[in-house]
């Protein structure tokens, strides 16, 4: 179908919003689709709850390459070696900090014990910006707001090891209401002096600010030392529709394009974390593989993918509008939708050659009833298996299941 028309339809709301908020940011993020490229990012934990004027030059963060295209540098070389060569083919689930620290964890561990699933992506810094466990790191305490949703992080890591779970730490980067309110100079400030918030009441911190980079990477370093094998960064972008307000908000910035700033953060993180032997992955909306770079929010699918070990496009069928991949109702045909998205993903990443990362998509294990009668189906065993089958047929044998409430379908054959 016509890409411009598809993007316009998505931006106007043909992609629905789930009330428990995993998809709550999607429609807002997609507003940038018509200006002129798509902007989208992963969504959220369902249970969460004086500035420098623009124009000042920001100093590049340590390890960031000044020109991503001109100088591959040490980071690119490191990409040729997998820091986790003995890692399994990851087949995982999303786990909130509340589940990880609560009674639901027993059910989730049983699911992994009894199936081919082998990994958990656990919130270590959530969508509100809370560090989800008690940390003794004074700098992290000063910058963030640790909350012991996970009561004993070391006990959790021992539990995961006992059950042979491949642990992945999810860190939400630039969407961070906690840090924005605590340190407005690291965020975006409106003309009246208040910290900017989006329609959902969430604030972002400034991707130009190297202290923000360091803070998030320091959390990642602590997660690595705790025993996580991979760091998954989410919300690696500017706020949705940023191009409309870039000249009215007050914040430290430089003249460099936003896509370079975001890709340089990823490079910096990779450089800093590689010596610790952990993989670096980034979440990005599945649409990014099918449309041009999102200049407004600073996301370029290829630039980001080149500098990570794993890329996780979110290819939930419910997030594609009518006509994508020649499917009338993508949510009702998960096999065709996933297959089409993987064709586009390979097409975009194949030119990277040896720098092509592992492709490990997020797939759908929830029912998108907000799409309205006739446009969705109840997701269960068949729909999950259809997505996995489509991935396999396109030579993608790793995946992550998303359910915002951590209630996953039983009886699924994950080897489909």
Map 336-387 to HEC letters: HHHHHHHHHHHHHHHHHHHHCCEECCEEECCCCHHHCCCCCCCCCHHHHHHH
Q: Is residue 52 part of a domain?
A: yes
Q: Which residues of the chain register pLDDT less than 70?
A: 1-80
Report pLDDT for 183. Answer: 97
Report pLDDT for 416. Answer: 77
Report pLDDT for 73. Answer: 36
Q: Is residue 83 part of a domain?
A: yes
- Which letter, b or e, does each residue of 9-34 get, where b requires 16 or more Cβ atoms within 10 Å of its Cβ? bbbeebbbbbeebbbbbbbbbbbbbb
CA atoms within 13 A on the CB side of 63: 20
Bridge partners, residue 312, by sequence: 283
Q: Is residue 30 part of a domain?
A: no
- Three-state secondary-structure class, residue 94: strand
pLDDT tens, 72-109?
333 444 446 899 999 999 999 999 999 999 999 999 99
Helix, strand, coil distribution of the chain in percent, nearest 5: 40, 15, 45
What is the domain count for the chain? 1
Q: Is residue 21 part of a domain?
A: no
Domain CATH number, residue 354: 3.20.20.80
Domain assignment of residue 243, given as a range? 41-402
Cβ-based neighbour number of residue 227 at 10 Å: 16
Give the whole-angstrom CA distance, residue 266 versus residue 255.
19
Q: Is residue 387 part of a domain?
A: yes
Record the pTM: 0.84
Report pLDDT for 161. Answer: 98
Report pLDDT for 80. Answer: 62
Give the whole-angstrom CA distance, residue 288 versus residue 315.
10
Q: Is residue 189 part of a domain?
A: yes
Report pLDDT for 254. Answer: 92
Q: Is residue 250 part of a domain?
A: yes
Going from the C-alpha of 193 to that of each of 50, 177, 242, 402, the distances in angstroms are: 8, 16, 18, 38
Going from the C-alpha of 345 to that of each of 101, 130, 313, the distances in angstroms are: 35, 32, 9
H-type alpha helices, 43-86:
73-78
Report pLDDT for 25. Answer: 53
Give the whole-angstrom CA distance, residue 152 versus residue 148.
8
pLDDT tens, 217-233?
999 999 999 999 999 99
Q: Both tokens of residue 48? A: 């969460």
Bridge partners, residue 359, by sequence: 311
- Three-state secondary-structure class, residue 122: strand
Q: Can you list the pairs that 59-65 forms with residues at least 24 positions away whose Cβ atoms lie under 8 Å? A: 59/210, 60/210, 60/264, 61/210, 61/213, 61/214, 61/264, 61/265, 61/268, 62/210, 62/268, 62/272, 63/267, 63/268, 63/271, 63/272, 64/264, 64/265, 64/267, 64/268, 64/271, 65/264, 65/267
Maximum alpha-carbon separation in the chain: 56
Give the whole-angstrom CA distance, residue 174 versus residue 85.
30
Give the whole-angstrom CA distance, residue 67 versus residue 322.
39
């Amino acid at each position: 179908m016509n890409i411009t028309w598809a993007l316009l339809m998505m931006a106007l709301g043909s992609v629905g919003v789930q009330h428990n908020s995993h998809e709550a940011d999607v429609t807002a993020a997609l507003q940038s689709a018509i200006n002129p490229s798509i902007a989208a990012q992963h969504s959220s934990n369902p249970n969460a709850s004086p500035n420098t004027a623009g124009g000042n030059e920001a100093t590049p963060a340590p390890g960031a390459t000044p020109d991503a295209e001109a100088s591959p540098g040490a980071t690119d070389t490191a990409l040729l070696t997998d820091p986790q060569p003995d890692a399994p083919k990851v087949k995982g689930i999303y786990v909130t900090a509340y589940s990880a620290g609560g009674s639901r964890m027993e059910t989730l561990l049983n699911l992994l014990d009894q199936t081919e699933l082998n990994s958990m992506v656990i919130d270590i810094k959530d969508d509100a910006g809370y560090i989800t466990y008690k940390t003794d790191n004074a700098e992290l305490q000063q910058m963030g707001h640790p909350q012991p949703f996970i009561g004993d992080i070391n006990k959790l890591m021992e539990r995961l090891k006992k059950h042979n779970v491949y642990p992945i730490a999810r860190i939400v980067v630039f969407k961070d209401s906690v840090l924005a309110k605590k340190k407005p100079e690291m965020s975006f400030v409106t003309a009246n002096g208040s910290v900017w918030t989006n329609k959902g009441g969430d604030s972002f911190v400034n991707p130009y600010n190297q202290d923000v980079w360091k803070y998030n990477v320091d959390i990642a370093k602590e997660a690595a030392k705790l025993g996580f094998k991979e760091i998954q960064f989410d919300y690696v972008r500017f706020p949705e529709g940023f191009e409309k307000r870039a000249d009215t908000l007050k914040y430290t910035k430089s003249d460099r394009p936003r896509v370079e700033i975001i890709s340089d953060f990823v490079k910096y993180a990779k450089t800093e974390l590689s010596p610790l032997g952990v993989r670096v992955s980034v979440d990005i909306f599945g649409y990014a593989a099918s449309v041009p770079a999102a200049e407004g929010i600073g996301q370029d699918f290829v630039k980001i993918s080149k500098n990570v070990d794993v890329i996780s496009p979110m290819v939930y069928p419910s997030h594609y509008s009518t006509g994508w991949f020649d499917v009338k109702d993508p949510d009702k045909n998960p096999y065709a939708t996933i297959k089409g998205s993987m064709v586009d993903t390979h097409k975009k990443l194949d030119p990277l050659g040896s720098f092509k990362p592992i492709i490990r998509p997020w797939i759908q294990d929830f029912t998108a009833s907000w799409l309205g009668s006739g446009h969705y189906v109840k997701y269960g065993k068949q729909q999950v298996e259809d997505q996995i089958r489509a991935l396999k047929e396109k030579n993608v044998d790793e995946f992550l299941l998303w359910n915002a409430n951590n209630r996953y379908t039983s009886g699924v054959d994950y080897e489909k």
